[in-house]
Structure 1
Amino acid sequence: MLLSFAVALIVIMNPIGNLAIYSALIENRNTEECNKTAKTCAIAIFSILMIALWIGWPILNFFGISIGAFEFAGSLIILRIALSMIKGHSHTHDKEKTKQLKYPSIAVVPMATPVIAGPGSMVVIISHANEFTITQFIYASVICLIISVFFWLLLKFTPKFASHIGDETMAVISRIMGLILAAIAIQMAASGLILLFPVLGS
């Protein structure tokens, strides 16, 4: 379960596709600003993931939302993201759009959320957290920390990566990740439907 959690989370956070967006946002910034932005973004990502992991499920209970309904609704969001990745015009559009943004600091908004740790990643975390034991919560927290550190390193070295990885290569990788994400979404939809209508699983 923890392995599927880690894979689903890293895929939906789409590091390669978001690298292109980040590259556009830090254009014309010096090395010191880029390093500070990468560090702040990673801290924000970790904070968002922790909130979703430890508080997300109690919030659903408070509003009386079942895990089946949440998984099925979440699968539709994830599937939409996956289809955009497969079609290849989601991140291209975002990259062009972000060039026009004038954020003094883009670390938290829009990079940490909603670009990297957006609704899709929250859906993945909360749907998995429903079945976690306390020990698994701790392991999941470590996974979130590792992923956040990974994004820090990725964003820190984005200027160097961007000069070696072309847009076409990133587009191909993003489409492959989109296909994997689509499969995850279908699996989540099936699981949600079975929870909502147990007769389907019999």
Structure 2
Amino acid sequence: MASADAMIAAFTTLLVTVDPPGLAPLFLGLTVGMNKAQRRQVAVRGSVMGFAILTVFALFGATILGALGISMGAFRIAGGLMLFAIAFEMIFERRNERKEKTTDDAITKDHIHNLAVFPLAIPLIAGPGAISATVLIAGTMNDLMGKAQLIGVIAVVLGLVYLALSVAERLNRFLGVTGRALLTRLLGVLLAALSVQFVVDGVKSAFGA
């Protein structure tokens, strides 16, 4: 069973990497022309699929790494550096620009009914950052109870994603440009600190410190 501190760290890391408030304006852009019921359907499907993807990596991520001959220490270092890059983008407002470009490209290529799968579930909800964070956190939990707790944390985060998508229009108006920028930067600083901790833990694990 994981400690309360480990669960809080897991929740914070996943919440920051998934970024429910940041998904709200992108979701509005994806679902232009849809009515409320259609938007809700896309939000439900996208959130459920995002949960399924992250759960698979929580349960089998370490096995996949083992099959590829990648140690958890090495993955923690690589994942930490990747999360730090995402934190850098968040602090300097580059992440949303990249996500918006992904969204625009997808609208021109995919049918409207597939929006819940791509780009909403992948890569906007369960993106590389969230997948890496999930595998890293799962690697610190050795027993079945710890994995079950992590899946519970994933469910809570994806529940918040669904909530953010459901109230996307109101949330977007409430935060405004300034509010979104401030929130994104604050979360970015927090993620930077968490990513450095992943690297430190990875170095200790890899070199037996």
Q: Following the alignment from structure 1 to structure 2, what is the Cα–Cα distance between the partners of residues 129 and 89?
A: 28
Structure 1 position 78 matched with structure 2 position 83: yes
Q: List aligned pairs for 1:41-190, cutoff 5 A.
A: 41-95=46-100, 98-99=103-104, 101-102=107-108, 103=110, 104=112, 105-132=114-141, 133-190=143-200
Instruction: Provide runs of 4+ in structure 1 moved above 6 Å.
Output: none
Q: Following the alignment from structure 1 to structure 2, what is the Cα–Cα distance between the partners of residues 134 and 97?
A: 36
Answer whether contact 1:82 1:182 (CA < 8 A) is retained: yes
Q: Following the alignment from structure 2 to structure 1, what is the Cα–Cα distance between the partners of residues 33 and 174?
A: 18
Q: Following the alignment from structure 2 to structure 1, what is the Cα–Cα distance between the partners of residues 132 and 156?
A: 19
Answer whether contact 2:20 2:160 (CA < 8 A) is retained: no
Q: Following the alignment from structure 2 to structure 1, what is the Cα–Cα distance between the partners of residues 119 and 98?
A: 15
Pick from 19, 26, 31 the counterpart of residue 21 of structure 1: 26
Q: Following the alignment from structure 2 to structure 1, what is the Cα–Cα distance between the partners of residues 201 and 151?
A: 24
% identity of equivalent residues: 25
Answer whether contact 2:23 2:165 (CA < 8 A) is retained: no
Answer whether contact 2:27 2:165 (CA < 8 A) is retained: yes
The C-alpha deviation readout for 1:80-128, integer Å capped at 9, x for no partner, is 1110000013203533663462331311211111112111112111112
Pick from 31, 38, 55 the counterpart of residue 33 of structure 1: 38
Q: Following the alignment from structure 1 to structure 2, what is the Cα–Cα distance between the partners of residues 174 and 157?
A: 18
1:28: Cα distance to partner?
Answer: 2.4
Tell me the amino acid that sits aligned with residue 115 of structure 1. Answer: L
Q: When the two structures are superposed, what TM-score results if normalisation uses the length of structure 1? A: 0.91
1:142/1:97 CA distance change after superposition, 3 Å: closer
RMSD after superposition: 1.6
Q: Following the alignment from structure 1 to structure 2, what is the Cα–Cα distance between the partners of residues 9 and 74?
A: 13
Tell me the amino acid that sits aligned with residue 68 of structure 2. Answer: F
Deviates more, 1:4-13 or 1:94-103: 94-103
Question: Which residues of structure 1 form unaligned runs of 5+?
Answer: none
Answer whether contact 2:24 2:169 (CA < 8 A) is retained: no
